[in-house]
Chains A and B, each alone.
Chain A
Amino acid sequence: MTTIGYEAYESAGALLRALSAPIRVAIVTELGAGERCVHDLVEKLGAPQPLVSQHLRVLRGAGVVRGVRQGREIAYSLVDEHVAHIVADAVSHARESRQ
């Protein structure tokens, strides 16, 4: 295996680690429907804001989400749609295998 090939797997591993917590899967699913501010996610997920912010930092660090300041708030969105598909597939796969 070439070094370049292995590096690609490492990045994929980092991406999957970033997606490894259920609450982050929920955040990515929510962002898959469109841009959200932190308070939107807090209300939707029922988790306290500092915790949601810290999870967003993990996702931002992995290059999954980006935040753009919009007036008084930071609007978060997915960096690309692929991640939404990966998560949606994982969620539906898990549902199927449970049946």
Chain B
Amino acid sequence: MSTVVEVRHAAAGYDGREVLSDVSLSVAAGDVVAVLGANGSGKSTLIRTVLGLVPLRRGEIELFGTPQRRFRHWERIGYVPQRLGAGSGVPATVGEVVASGRLARRGIFRFPGAADKTAVREALAGVGLLDRIGDPVATLSGGQQQRTLIARALAGKPDLLVLDEPNAGVDAASQEAFAAALTRFTAAGGTIMLVLHELGPLRPLIGRGVVVHGGRIAHEGTPPEPAGHHAEPGHDHVHPHADEVQAGICEWAPTEQTKAY
């Protein structure tokens, strides 16, 4: 079984503050790994370091067997960052947003073809939103917008899907819908690494949980039982970064090249 993500003794952090001090983690093809931990434990920092968004201070990271610094096939990775808020008012449709997930695969000067259209429709059907393909994203609920973003990542036909708190602030129906979509993705051989606050409907899908604590992996194994107030249904799991620009779903905006459906 080939290794998709290999992290060896990684240390990473932001200016002057080391968040991860010694993290080792191996994700094989077909694995579904949940990164768990308390607020501020470094869950998001870990996946952002894997993606090269946070600089590695010590240690090594390999993606698909290539050292991260030399890795180029970013189109193999689908990424859904933590949700930043509602749409920015850009009047893009659901189909246009999902079609933008094909751009990294298409390259420049290639207009959308049948494969793009099929991928967009399949991805939307997978999250149960095909009937909303022509609707403005702004008319969707938060959970439906999150499903749209996951469909956009799936439309790019990634080998690895990286999700940062995909369930945060998302209604139960949407959680179920994308649990189903992720199940199909893994059944087709896809690998998933996701940051989670609670396992929720994704629980049956998770093969392994790693708990980040004190800058290290404190626990690794089958997912622990939910406990405490975080497990209560009414708990609000949205933890937006205060300093972030609220770009939301539509920082990207469609062009004629992205009307792929």
Contacts and interface: CB of A to CB of B under 8 A. Distances in A.
Which of B52, B72, B81 has most A Cβ within 10 Å?
Answer: B52
Contact of A49 (B69, B73, B104, B245): B104
Interface residues of B, number: 43
Contacts of A44: 108
A39 B255 CA distance: 8
B168 interface: no
B101 A72 contact: no
A55 B15 CA distance: 16
B118 to A, nearest CB: 19
Contacts of A83: none
Contact of A48 (B52, B53, B72, B75): B75
B79 to A, nearest CB: 5
Nearest to A17: B55
Nearest to A20: B55
B79 A48 contact: yes
Contact of B103 (A14, A22, A43, A60): A43
A21 interface: yes
Nearest to B251: A53
A10 to B, nearest CB: 9
Interface in A36-65: 37-39, 42-51, 53-55, 57-58, 60
A20 B253 CA distance: 28
Given A50-B80, A50-B153, A53-B252, A21 B55 contact: yes
Contacts, number: 97
B103 A39 contact: yes
Contacts of A48: 74-75, 77-79, 101, 104, 153, 156, 158
Contact of A42 (B69, B77, B244, B252): B252
Interface in B44-84: 48, 51-53, 55, 69-70, 72-75, 77-81
Contact of B106 (A14, A21, A43, A50): A43
B148 interface: no
Interface string A12-27: 0010010011110000
Nearest to B54: A58
A42 B75 CA distance: 10
28 contacts: A14-B15, A21-B53, A39-B100, A39-B252, A39-B255, A39-B258, A42-B103, A42-B104, A42-B252, A43-B106, A45-B74, A46-B72, A46-B75, A46-B104, A47-B74, A48-B79, A48-B156, A49-B100, A50-B153, A51-B53, A53-B81, A54-B53, A54-B79, A60-B245, A73-B253, A73-B255, A74-B247, A74-B251
